[in-house]
Amino acid sequence: GSLGVDNIVEISGPILSVLYPVTITLIFTTLADKFIKNIKAVRIGVYTSLVFGILGIIPFINLDFIPLGKSGFAWLVPTVISILIGYIVFPTSKQKISDL
């Protein structure tokens, strides 16, 4: 049989909720390639957005205490902070984002 629209939304909603923070992070860091040149810092940011995307779909985990958490952007501040920490921990990286 075919899946109804409600079933499709029920299945795809959590998947998209995990993927959109990662996608936005990748798009932003790719567009900001002239400013964000440390691939290790970007990877840390992508992994952070993935973790917070997964945590965001778990019903009993409340991320509203994080800035922008009530708006559905609980992943944004930790991702930016993790990219900055990545720059501190790995100050230089020979591989550029555009080389991926």
Identify the DSSP state of 98. G
Rounded to two decimals, the pTM is 0.81
Alpha helices in the chain (DSSP H): 5-31, 39-57, 76-89
Q: What's the Rg (C-alpha) of the chain? A: 16
User: Which residues are within 8 A (CB) of 88 and not within 5 positions of it... i.e. 6 or more apart?
Assistant: none
The domain ranges of the chain are 5-99
Walk along the chain (100 residues) and give the pLDDT tens digit of each residue.
567 888 888 889 899 999 999 999 999 999 988 888 889 999 999 999 999 999 988 888 888 899 988 888 999 999 999 999 998 998 876 665 555 5
Q: What is the length of the chain?
A: 100
